Amino acid sequence: AQSVTQPDIHITVSEGASLELRCNYSYGATPYLFWYVQSPGQGLQLLLKYFSGDTLVQGIKGFEAEFKRSQSSFNLRKPSVHWSDAAEYFCAVGASGSARQLTFGSGTQLTVLP
């Protein structure tokens, strides 16, 4: 079975600074990987996804993520954070092939200082 670890429960950055949120997964084959963002009182919104091909994927809101098979990682990055990026971020893994459900990490809460 697949699993996801987000080692950082809470991260604080200043507005305009760069951001990297960590995600490590466990899965025996090539996984499908996702990053979601959740604003307070809202559902989760898909930021980006990786299935295959180019290991650097671009998403919405200026986010990108890099799949590193050797490190079992799929870290989320943004070069310059905006105050509106303050939210909770979830990494998720899905098994390729016939499996249907995603497994979510425990989330990283991002605080942006003015």
Does 102 bind other proteins (CB under 8 A)? Our answer is yes
Number of residues in contact with other proteins, rule: CB under 8 A? 24
Nearer to other proteins, 25 or 36 (CB): 36
Print the binding letters for residues 51-90 with other proteins: x by CB under 8 A, - otherwise: x--------------------------------------x
Applying CB under 8 A, the span of 10-18, 40-48, 70-78, 79-87 interacting with other proteins comes to 40-48
Of 14, 55, 71, 96, the one binding other proteins by CB under 8 A: 96
As beta bridge partners, residue 74 has: 67
What does DSSP say about strands 108-113 and 10-14: parallel, antiparallel, or unpaired?
parallel
Q: How far apart are the first and last CA of the chain?
A: 41
**Number of residues that make up the chain:** 114
Residue type, 28: G
Structure-derived torsion over alpha carbons of residues 106, 113, 67, 73, reported in degrees to the nearest 10: -40
Does 9 bind other proteins (CB under 8 A)? Our answer is no
